[in-house]
Amino acid sequence: MAIKVFGSFISTATMRVLLCLDEKGLAYEFVPVNLAASDHKGEPFLSLNPFGQVPAFEDGDLMLFESRAINQYIAHTHADKGTPLIYEDPKKMALVSVWAEVEAQRYDPPAAKLTWELGIKPVIEMAADDAIVQEQGDQLAKVLDVYEARLAQSKYLGGDSFSLADLHHLPTLNYLMGTGARAVFDSRPHVSAWCADILTRPAWQKVLAMITNHYRSVSYSKLCYV
């Protein structure tokens, strides 16, 4: 049975899963969830994810939620297809796990708040909160200082090759590169080179093209987030 992803093209967590499927070269069906109509806060969506957030994921009789857990499943189940994303060697894999945790626990909190303030609010004609932008920008800068040191020693965060640890950054990274927060990445040479590398990956370009085509094909409304 086909893989299905229930989500929204505006959602970074949804993009994270689509990107993983494209890195693996897997076919899937995208099922849009209308966030503006709060479809994610009622049935039938709550049966897919009781926390009421996109995405949800279906693979035959298996139902999953939480984008990073979905991607772990995809990477382990289809280890032999497309980009490896994980390592068989347990010590190499442990470093992927460490930096995947760093993304989730340290990078994503400020990056997600900045994405909302600088990447999404302008689209829906809301004003950014300057105090939050300053505070979260400072927080992100401290995280990227550690990344700069890591990437001076290792081409990718998890090791010598692109892995889940890098992949999970791309949706917020892409949003932020189109905002004033870009400077915090560009001012760190190894971070900047890493961004340029991963943002041009064919699988990510494919996800972006799908999103662009979607917005061209629908009667676009600022309130229609799907």
Q: Which chain residues interact with a copy of itself by CB under 8 A? A: 50-51, 62, 64-66, 68-70, 72-73, 76-77, 90-91, 93-95, 97-98, 100-102, 104-106, 146, 149-150
* Least distance CB 184 / a copy of itself (angstroms): 17
Closer to a copy of itself by Cβ: residue 29 or 101: 101
Closer to a copy of itself by Cβ: residue 150 or 201: 150
* Least distance CB 12 / a copy of itself (angstroms): 13
Report the alpha-carbon distance of residue 70 to residue 31 in Å, rounded: 16
* Secondary structure string (H, E, C) spanning 90-157: HHHHHHHHHHHHHHHHHHHHHHHHHHHHHHHCCCCCCCCCHHHHHHHHHHHHHHHHHHHHHHHHCCCC
* Least distance CB 158 / a copy of itself (angstroms): 11
* Least distance CB 57 / a copy of itself (angstroms): 9
Closer to a copy of itself by Cβ: residue 90 or 216: 90
Structure tokens at 40: 């994610």
Neighbours of 138 (CB within 10 A): 11
Closer to a copy of itself by Cβ: residue 63 or 128: 63
Closest to 143 measured CA to CA, from 112, 164, 118, 119: 112
